[in-house]
Amino acid sequence: MNRLFTRIAGQIAKLAGKPFTFMLALICVLAWAITGPVFGFSEVWQLVINTGTTIVTFLMVFLVQNTQNRDASAMQAKLDELLRAIEKARQEFIGIEHLTDVEIEKIRAALERDQGPGNHRAPSHASVQRMLERR
């Protein structure tokens, strides 16, 4: 069941991101809008688009979340493997994605302090700012 859902969710998420799917949805909305005068802009006419979009949105939230969770887990596994493979990498960073937001923020702040002005590998925020200004 899990493998089947994963396969279906992946295919639907991939299909949903295609230009053809967007155009199909746009055509449906335009067809609905054009039929407004035919149906006198009735409550039933409005209910059709409201119900349709609500159902599609409701289902897509779960499919997209499933795809994002799977992608994030795969990325974490790849990063963990890189940490294992690089000799100088600190192994204690493996699995930190399971910590709370507060714990991760403390680690991030400590890493930035460790890379402070006295360290030659310190990130240059000024150079990042210049790069952003070039855009």
Domain residue spans of the chain: 2-98, 99-135
Full DSSP string of the chain? -HHHHHHHHHHHHHHHTSHHHHHHHHHHHHHHHHTTTTTTT-HHHHHHHHHHHHHHHHHHHHHHHHHHHHHHHHHHHHHHHHHHHSTTS-GGGTTGGGS-HHHHHHHHHHHHHHT-TTSTT---HHHHHHHHHT-
pTM, rounded to two decimals: 0.62
Averaged confidence pLDDT in the chain: 88
pLDDT in tens, 92-129: 999 999 999 999 999 989 888 887 665 555 456 776 77
